[in-house]
Structure 1
Amino acid sequence: MPNATASRPPDVRAVGLALILVLLSLGALGILSAAASTPRVETIRLGSDLPFELLVDDDGALDAQTVLTLPSTQFSSHDGPLSQGYTRAVSWLRFNPPAPRPGGAPWWLVVAPPYLDRLTVFVPGADGYTRMETGDLLPASARPVRDRHFVLPMTPDSTQPMLIRLETTSVSLLSAYFTSPEAFVSQRASSSFLWGLYFGIACVTTLLCIGLGFIQRSRLMLAVSALGVAYLMVASTQGFTYVLLLPDRPLLAHHLTSISTLLTLAAHLWLLREALLTRQHFPRTDKVLLAGGALFVGAVTALLLGLYGQAMTVLMTLNALIHALAVATALRLTCLKGVSAGTRAIAIAVSITSALAILAALSVLAVVPVSLTLLHLWQYAMLGLMVAILLASVHELRMQQQRLDSLQAERLGAAEARRQHLEDRVKERTAALQHAHDQLERALRDERHAQFKQRQFLAMVSHEFRTPLSVISAATGNLAQCPTPSTEALTHRLAQINRATRRLTTLTDNCLADARLSAATLVIEQVPTDLAALLENAAELARLSSRQLVQVNIEPGLDTQCRCDHALVTIALSNVLDNAIKYAANSPIHARLTAAQDNFILTVSDEGPGISPAEEASIFGRYERGSAAHNVSGSGLGLHVSREIMRAHGGDLRLVHTGGAGATFEFSLPRRPPGTQARQVTS
């Protein structure tokens, strides 16, 4: 059964009040946009602040020199914006420019509207008059400042009169002001936000109207969608189309302004026909609106004949009369019986926008004083009309939806059965996926267990392999200290055995350290350690292995006690010392231990071939070796393992010097290691 509230007639007053509030809100936004477009800081307006003299040149034969010499009796005085209506006559404005800005900073002259054909400004200066030209028939690249309005930087001489020559085929409106570049940029930021909000709401509203038009198959919504051409007209008359879309096609942008204006007037009449239901209730008014729309569309041909100005004078007069008829029709529609609340609300919105359209048309025709606030208010009222119609249509769609709810009740049983069937299928599929997931989890655990066993095996083999190597190293060391005097070859071979054993021991230590550092559960066994003694031991091992000079320098008075993993740090130091010995070509090796802030700093320097700059970034990689290592044995693990050991302690290892004079590596080791990353061991 339908919901009881579905058959209840809607509250006419509530719906109408809501739509009127929408119109008033958007109208207020239009007033704010006009206010944001009017600079208030360091601004001098032509007319109100700088009165001007107007001379109408019917045939356009006068030149600037002649106009400057004419007496004031041939001019008419004005203290507001210029409004001449549609005329082909040339207008000359003569006025005294403002006083110079402090420091000789330039003024910016801003002229609107941006659809004037040709604007010539004669600026007085110390060397005579400078001619500046602009207009919407010139490409954007010809403008001194690229903006949707005409902006001309200048520093005029305030003691001489200034001239503006206006020639246009469109309506002769001119609003100009002098401002500073800073004030202009500030004003543009606020007005751009409001215009962006305007076009954003316009695009969303138009898309919603198009969607509802196809969903409801509504002629009214299609008419509202067609009114979206009004936003193209607004974009064109405000200069956005010229600057953003057609900067190098000024003539196309010029004609687009005229064509979009005519199409907007025609689309507005179509909207009036659909919104006021003239076909059903007012057939005579419907014929007038239909004929007016056809006339506006046909007037596009006036552009080809060069009669646009004359045609627009007639059309704007006709437009004002038609909208006066629309206001009367809207008021009559609200009094008819049997009209829905949405239709009455739309009629009220139409009457408001039509009244504003009448004032805008009279303003353009110079019948009433021109007002930029009025033009902005009409533009936002058009947007409000679309929003009001959209809300009314959504309300009607909601009422239809409520009526359809009763028809859908009988289908709920079948839908519920299908839903239950789908849920059963989903449960079956979920169970199958869970089973597959469990199998993958078991396989992953098995793989992790196998890797763990493999690491344990490698650690055990390496440990067992290292033990006999240590014994061999000790034995060969004893033999080397007490060589048999019978032969010198024995001593040489013992040295070879010792070096080989040292190499295997280092390789084994690096493999063990790399496996330990790669483990997920790395524990640093921190014990109290004398870093100086550890360095001396590492250097002594290097001396015994190569008989090469290793000089150790400890900063005097330095407390070298720290906590670290003795075995790992020994491996790190030995790796760097061994590398220095291998590459230094029997030259001295220098090891120095100092302190800086909270770290021990240990440097190892050699006088070998050094490391090329191209290899500095990769030398610490696992299994990476420099180009100088082609004749030197090694695995490429030493530097990688050493740096990882230092980082595991909270320090680092880095290359600080390279080149032909050797290489210097710097260890940094915290004096007080972080307890959260290591396990403290008391010795």
Structure 2
Amino acid sequence: MPFNLSKEACFYWLFFLVITVFSTSVQAALNGQDSFTPQLYFYVDKNNNQTFETIKQLPASSFTQAPKAGYVGGYNRFTHWLRFTIPASDQPGEKLILRTHPAYTDILTLYVPKTTGLGYRRINNGEQIENWETKTDNAFTFTLTARAKPVTVYLSTRSTNTNTIVATLYNEYGYSRALHFERTLSGLFIGLLLTLIILNLSYTRWHRDKAFRYYLVFIIASLAVFLSLNRWLLLMPNEWRSWGSLLPQATTLFYMWALAMLYHNLFEFQESALKRRISLFYQSLIFIGVIALIYEYYVEYMPWFMMSTIVYLIWITGISINQALKRYRDSGLLFFAVIFGFTGILGTALSLEGVLSGGLLLLYSYTVGTLASIIVFQGIMGRRIRDFEKQHVALQLEKDHADHIAARERREKEQKAQFISMLSHELKTPLSVIKMGVNQPNLSDTGRHHVSQAISDMSMVIDRCSMLEKVEDQVNAHLENIEVISFLDTLIAQLQTKGRVNYQHNETSLIVCSDYDWLKVIINNLLDNALKYSPSNTSIGLSVYSNTNEVCVEISNITHLSLPDSERLFDKYYREKNAHSQTGSGLGLYIVKQLTTQLNSKIEYHTTIKTDNTKQVVMTLCLPNTR
């Protein structure tokens, strides 16, 4: 299956190239007539028994020419002697600054011919020598004077870290520009890493994702190793120098451990026994490096560890290529992150090992590689954040849905219990009346009326319970044109208490499109409520009027009972406490509301209190007008 580069991957690759070319071009622009890179020749004293007096008498053939970019002596405990020539200057007496990298060499000693007389002047420098309180440059510098004739200079170095030297000679102007350029790039790099740390820490769920946690640790480790290798962390009192000089080695091991843990989680090595063992084996090598550092075997251990790191990164690269070919999620971006990191670490490792010389660019190539890989990792983590947020939202919605269902089921259970309690209460009274009538052989007319009313009340409760099932099943309405004036006349005529209904209308004919049976249930329930909860010696009002787009039926009554809760009035099984003096199911207005909604109509409730403290209740039903 072919591997297609994504737009994001191409952007990251272009970003890496631009940063590399930009930094190289600017540095090259600065290195002109204001700077000079001397050609170094080296001699390695493996027995550490040579002195400067014996070294300067060695023939030129005893020294080997180093690459133009710089000298790479690798990890060892030998003394390395470098010889180079400062060319004649057309401005004798001009101040020159010799600047050397890396910034963590233990001891550097420069031997310069004296300006007057014979012999050499000795200048000591290095991490264990220089005065940090007056230091203004994080690299090692030697102040010299330009001369009219070429002079041969010797430089000796010995370090418990790598014996790599990149030297550049500047005049004052060139030195100032080089220092400004380096500090600008360092500030940009440090600022970017700090910004990413703060930005990612502000994401509150970072601690829930292992890969995200180790990505943050990797950024912190990248910042720590950059600060220590460039001696930004080593600006400390002289009495702390003995342990502070271990920071470059310690932060390097910390950096490799953070990177190994990040790969371990991004590639999910825990899912494969073999990959997990290899990953854990490499992590154990890092911890052995810490022990070697503590017991001062770092120089002997580091070459072997560097080669192991290269093998490990080649293995990681192979895994990333395999996943990219199989088009795993984010495999394209992960491939580029691995390549960038591997390229940067490989260049620095080969330079520190003494295998390859590439000057400052190769010595600090890990910085460019780290920066590029962090940018790509940020893209990967951004996707993981978005995916996690989507999953979180989906889970929250699912939880809310489950809570809603549980609450609904709990509410329905409570409503059913309330309904059963209400039903048993409402049927008990009419059943008692019927039982009393059955036990009387000669029932009076009043008794017969009470029995008949009890049967009607029971029938009403049963009818509303049966109507409830139809309403909740949402049966489709059978719409037809209904003439409202005559329709209401028919309903009023069927009422036993029709004399209490004060029916008023100013229209001769009003047509609505509705379901005849449903509309009958709605009006009957509203009339029944008004008649039931108003004093028996009062009348209820019934009026009909039309608006532009609707026909409204208004039913009003007065009551001495306490008013119901307007927010719960149309709830299923709801009955106001004082309403239990009348037989009812708590379903009438609920059915009214449901049927009204299904008919695309509306029902409104409002009350007024009159001057005699009686309460007037008004229910208004508005139906679509077909005209």
Sort the TM-score into its range (normalised by shorter chain): 0.5 to 0.7
| TM-score where L is the length of structure 2 | 0.58
User: Which SS does the other structure have where 1:69 is aligned?
Assistant: coil
Which residue of 1 is the match for residue 301 of structure 2? Answer: 311
- Give 1:251 deviation, angstroms: 2.4
- What CA distance in whole angstroms lies between the structure 2 residues aligned with 1:191 and 1:79? 23
Which residue of 2 is the match for residue 59 of structure 1? Answer: 47
Query: Which deviations, in whole Å up to 9, do the C-alpha atoms of 1:209-265 show, x marking residues without a partner?
Result: 44448446111111112212122111111222224x556633233111111111111
Which residue of 1 is the match for residue 275 of structure 2? Answer: 285
- Give 1:170 deviation, angstroms: 0.9
Is this contact kept in 2: 1:91–1:167, CA < 8 A?
A: yes
- Does residue 152 (structure 1) correspond to residue 142 (structure 2)? The answer is yes
Which residue of 2 is the match for residue 323 of structure 1? Answer: 313
More deviation, 155-164/125-134: 155-164
- Does residue 367 (structure 1) correspond to residue 355 (structure 2)? The answer is yes
| TM-score where L is the length of structure 1 | 0.53
Which residue of 1 is the match for residue 264 of structure 2? Answer: 273
Any residues of structure 2 matched to 1:23-422 within 5 Å, and which? 24-26=14-16, 28-36=18-26, 39-46=30-37, 50-80=38-68, 81-100=70-89, 102=91, 104-125=93-114, 126-127=116-117, 128-141=119-132, 146-155=136-145, 158-212=149-203, 214-215=205-206, 217-227=208-218, 228-243=220-235, 245=236, 249-280=240-271, 282-336=272-326, 339-340=328-329, 342-402=330-390
Is this contact kept in 2: 1:110–1:178, CA < 8 A?
A: yes
- What CA distance in whole angstroms lies between the structure 2 residues aligned with 1:98 and 1:154? 13
- What CA distance in whole angstroms lies between the structure 2 residues aligned with 1:185 and 1:78? 27
> Residues 212 and 380 from structure 1, CA distance in 2 versus in 1: closer, same or farther, beyond 3 angstroms?
farther
- Give 1:147 deviation, angstroms: 0.7
- What CA distance in whole angstroms lies between the structure 1 residues aligned with 2:104 and 2:338? 28
> Residues 394 and 160 from structure 1, CA distance in 2 versus in 1: closer, same or farther, beyond 3 angstroms?
closer
- What CA distance in whole angstroms lies between the structure 2 residues aligned with 1:294 and 1:194? 34
Which one-letter code corresponds to 1:171 in the other structure? T
- Give 1:288 deviation, angstroms: 1.2
Which one-letter code corresponds to 1:232 in the other structure? A
Q: Return 5+ residue gaps in structure 1 as ranges.
A: 1-11, 415-683
User: Which SS does the other structure have where 1:271 is aligned?
Assistant: helix
> Residues 40 and 258 from structure 1, CA distance in 2 versus in 1: closer, same or farther, beyond 3 angstroms?
same
Query: Which deviations, in whole Å up to 9, do the C-alpha atoms of 1:439-476 show, x marking residues without a partner?
Result: xxxxxxxxxxxxxxxxxxxxxxxxxxxxxxxxxxxxxx
User: Which SS does the other structure have where 1:241 is aligned?
Assistant: coil
- What CA distance in whole angstroms lies between the structure 1 residues aligned with 2:260 and 2:63? 41
- Give 1:347 deviation, angstroms: 3.3
Which one-letter code corresponds to 1:290 in the other structure? L
> Residues 150 and 248 from structure 1, CA distance in 2 versus in 1: closer, same or farther, beyond 3 angstroms?
farther
- What CA distance in whole angstroms lies between the structure 2 residues aligned with 1:137 and 1:111? 15
> Residues 142 and 18 from structure 1, CA distance in 2 versus in 1: closer, same or farther, beyond 3 angstroms?
same
Which one-letter code corresponds to 2:297 in the other structure? L
- Give 1:100 deviation, angstroms: 3.6
- Give 1:37 deviation, angstroms: 5.1
- Give 1:102 deviation, angstroms: 1.4
User: Which SS does the other structure have where 1:104 is aligned?
Assistant: coil
> Residues 209 and 95 from structure 1, CA distance in 2 versus in 1: closer, same or farther, beyond 3 angstroms?
same
Any residues of structure 2 matched to 1:523-602 within 5 Å, and which? none
- Give 1:119 deviation, angstroms: 0.1
Which one-letter code corresponds to 1:303 in the other structure? L
> Residues 57 and 273 from structure 1, CA distance in 2 versus in 1: closer, same or farther, beyond 3 angstroms?
same
Equivalent residue pairs, number: 393
> Residues 396 and 40 from structure 1, CA distance in 2 versus in 1: closer, same or farther, beyond 3 angstroms?
same
Which one-letter code corresponds to 2:74 in the other structure? G
> Residues 206 and 219 from structure 1, CA distance in 2 versus in 1: closer, same or farther, beyond 3 angstroms?
same
- Give 1:203 deviation, angstroms: 1.3
Query: Which deviations, in whole Å up to 9, do the C-alpha atoms of 1:285-326 show, x marking residues without a partner?
Result: 332121111221231121232211111011001001100111
User: Which SS does the other structure have where 2:56 is aligned?
Assistant: helix
- What CA distance in whole angstroms lies between the structure 2 residues aligned with 1:291 and 1:88? 28
Is this contact kept in 1: 2:75–2:302, CA < 8 A?
A: yes
Which one-letter code corresponds to 1:308 in the other structure? Y
> Residues 113 and 43 from structure 1, CA distance in 2 versus in 1: closer, same or farther, beyond 3 angstroms?
farther
User: Which SS does the other structure have where 2:99 is aligned?
Assistant: strand
> Residues 377 and 167 from structure 1, CA distance in 2 versus in 1: closer, same or farther, beyond 3 angstroms?
closer
Is this contact kept in 2: 1:55–1:93, CA < 8 A?
A: yes
- What CA distance in whole angstroms lies between the structure 2 residues aligned with 1:334 and 1:408? 34
Which residue of 2 is the match for residue 666 of structure 1? Answer: none
- What CA distance in whole angstroms lies between the structure 2 residues aligned with 1:294 and 1:211? 32
Is this contact kept in 1: 2:336–2:376, CA < 8 A?
A: no
- What CA distance in whole angstroms lies between the structure 2 residues aligned with 1:149 and 1:330? 37
> Residues 390 and 153 from structure 1, CA distance in 2 versus in 1: closer, same or farther, beyond 3 angstroms?
same
> Residues 377 and 25 from structure 1, CA distance in 2 versus in 1: closer, same or farther, beyond 3 angstroms?
farther
Is this contact kept in 1: 2:74–2:164, CA < 8 A?
A: yes
How big is the alpha-carbon RMSD for the aligned residues of Structure 1 and Structure 2? 2.9
- Give 1:124 deviation, angstroms: 0.6
Which one-letter code corresponds to 2:307 in the other structure? T
Query: Which deviations, in whole Å up to 9, do the C-alpha atoms of 1:44-89 show, x marking residues without a partner?
Result: 444xxx3232111112221112211111122112342000111111
- What CA distance in whole angstroms lies between the structure 1 residues aligned with 2:363 and 2:120? 35
> Residues 266 and 334 from structure 1, CA distance in 2 versus in 1: closer, same or farther, beyond 3 angstroms?
same
> Residues 356 and 79 from structure 1, CA distance in 2 versus in 1: closer, same or farther, beyond 3 angstroms?
closer
